Structure 1
């Protein structure tokens, strides 16, 4: 189970890197959208104050620059990256909402959508809290410097300050709050925060469901791919690779191992001793594995090692080091293993296994259990 936890943690790290890459793509889409809106505004296609739109675009671009630098340098594995990205997207959503007001009401949802892909409740709640804090400042800033909500009624594109100035000149006769901060926080912030809360809770349930499913699938996959006694890859895993992977490898060497006299060890010293012998050989073989070298438990006392594209002496070197390490084990009883080896094309992997098995069997007969075959 320790090996499973290590494998699962490694997979979680890989998924986080993938999520960071998707977040970067999201930033690109958002920046591209704002750029297009800015261009259309400059051309007069959108009824938005050009100065305000330009300000929103420039500030957003400034926030996106460090994000782009991180993406270019491909430093996406650090744990702090996701938090920086989420803080940045909250900042961008706050800026856009503050300056564009009713044109960007749903922008506050974006940080939550970015956060959900990390499939972590803590990250989701972190983003929600940050989002509502940013929303409070955004609404206050937008009230004074962003597009005024009166534009919805009057079909204009002015700020609050413009309406105040014109009302003083007699163009508008309506009462305005001298201190609107409380009204904004109570009647604007609270309802939106409540809506985002419901949205966040539903996303949390989605995360929990996805996470539980992924853990179950990962554990089932691990159990299917891993031999329970030794912790190395199982025969099922080998059969899967023999069908889907090794046929596309140019050359492979198959090293077939069989523990000598395992039945006698079980009878004389007990099954725990026999299991220990199996585990020791598996551990030695696993210590030789790399990206190109894999070890599998093929049967009760049978193991195979697959070497991808071996050089002239690599296979023999592996055999010698495994035998040397096995001879150095002090288990309270003698342990040895007979070996057979076959090399050929990857698309003949099953044929090579049979050849290596046959050679191992012949060596066992000729040497009567001597592992010097």
Structure 2
């Protein structure tokens, strides 16, 4: 199955599009929470610097709006989209941490969880790298303008008992730190980055396992849906797509091919020659496939291609492209192949009728015989 890698990559790309949709929904939820908290800040609950938080909120809003526009305007499978989304999640998390300071320590796990969904270690490490930069910034700014963490304001890292003993006589003799930024770095930033690093190491192993599972699932799906001899989808996949997919497509064009004289070739020259004939034909058809144009082998010598929302005369152009490729193959010393063809187009909801019409036209073409064939069938040992 020489195109399994292509099939696997297509599956991953489709999964990534779905994950991008999910990430956008998660970003919407996080931004709604941030917006609610921003509104509370102007009511002095909690007591924070509303101006600083508004600037942070504006930056988050800019990334959020840009993410929404990017998702609906750009290619949903673009590799850069996931990086942009993860960056937006990190910025929103930093905004929350800035305001709530030590109360929002675990918010930094959220971007890592989002990154895990992509099943790629580089996305996970991008998330961590952004947090290495944003966590110190949000903590230091939050220390001065967010909810004050008294334990960081005081000098040292004393226990509860020590504080109680100092306050026992009603007079506090607790010295204040002259270097709060150093205290924040030593007692808050470095430990939390270390914890996040441990999370990253654990999660990257999870990603590896997830990708291995995805590969095995894709391989099983590929074996179930693809005809191993031709690399085209098989009849089971064809019937499933007719019933559950193409009926929801706005416009569909159907192209059918039926190889001429395959039975006679098998009888006269053996099935090995017939297999080569099928391989030559399927290669020519496979070369025309892409995300909109999928081809299926639905019988021994019968092939079908379904085109989603076809352009004008696209089906006829595909038939001609297949003929041209077969002609070049013949000129290079390969087999000479001819086939009957039929095509029809209509609304996806009428897919069964479209297939029926294409099938009738194919058999009409086959009856006309040599009048409709551009290439005569010729075999020699």
Q: TM-score range by the shorter chain?
A: 0.7 to 0.9
Q: 1:142 to 1:308 in 2, by over 3 A?
A: closer
Judged with a 3 Å threshold, the aligned counterparts in structure 2 of structure 1 residues 28 and 309 are, in CA distance, closer, same or farther, namely closer
Contact (CA 8 Å) 2:235, 2:296: kept in 1 or not?
yes
Once the two structures are superposed, the pairs formed by residues 136-155 of structure 1 within 5 Å of their partners are: 136-150=136-150
1:279 aligned residue: 279
Alignment match, 2:115: 115
Answer yes or no: is the 8 Å Cα contact 1:235–1:296 preserved in 2: yes
Aligned to 1:126: 126
Distance 1:347 1:22, change over 3 A: same
Tell me the residue number matched to 2:26: 26
Cα deviation 1:231-260 (Å, max 9, x = unaligned): 222222222223334566788656340242
Q: Distance in 2 between matches of 1:95 and 1:310?
A: 47
Superimposed CA distance per residue, residues 263-302 of structure 1 (whole angstroms, 9 cap, x where no aligned partner): 646964882x543322221122334557776432223333
Q: Secondary structure at the match of 2:231?
A: coil
Q: 1:137 to 1:312 in 2, by over 3 A?
A: closer
- Check if 1:62 corresponds to 2:64: no
Report Cα offsets for 1:306-336 as digits up to 9, x if no partner: 5779999887776566456535524657533
| 1:333/1:259 CA distance change after superposition, 3 Å | farther
5+ unaligned residues in a row in structure 2: which ranges? 153-170
SS at match of 1:220: helix
Distance 1:331 1:266 in 2: 26
Q: State the SS of the aligned residue for 2:210.
A: helix
State the distance in 1 between where 2:247 and 2:97 align.
Answer: 55
1:1-373 to 2 correspondences below 5 Å: 1=1, 3-44=3-44, 46=45, 48-50=46-48, 52-73=49-70, 74-75=73-74, 77-150=77-150, 173-246=173-246, 255-261=256-262, 264=265, 268=269, 271=272, 273-289=273-289, 294-306=294-306, 322-323=322-323, 325-328=325-328, 329-330=330-331, 332=333, 335-339=336-340, 341=342, 346-348=351-353
Structure-2 change in CA distance of 1:294 and 1:113 (3 Å) = closer
- Normalised by the length of structure 2, the TM-score is 0.71
Cα deviation digits, residues 185-242 of structure 1 (max 9, x gap): 3332343234333433443343233322222222222232222222222222222223
Q: 1:121-145 CA deviation, whole Å, 9 max, x = no partner?
A: 2221332243244323433443344
CA shift for structure 1 position 65: 0.7
Aligned mates of 1:87, 1:305 — CA distance in 2: 41
Between 21-30 and 248-257, the greater mean CA deviation after superposition: 248-257
CA contact (8 A) 2:281 2:337 kept: no
CA contact (8 A) 1:254 1:356 kept: no
Residue 295 of structure 1: SS of its match in structure 2?
strand
The SS at the match of 1:123 is helix
Unaligned runs of 5+ in 1: 153-170
Q: Residues 190 and 79 of structure 1: is their aligned pair in 2 closer, same or farther, counting only changes over 3 Å?
A: same
1 CA distance for matches of 2:252 and 2:140? 68
Q: Counterpart of 2:79 in 1: which secondary structure?
A: coil
| Alpha carbons 1:294, 1:305 under 8 Å: kept | yes
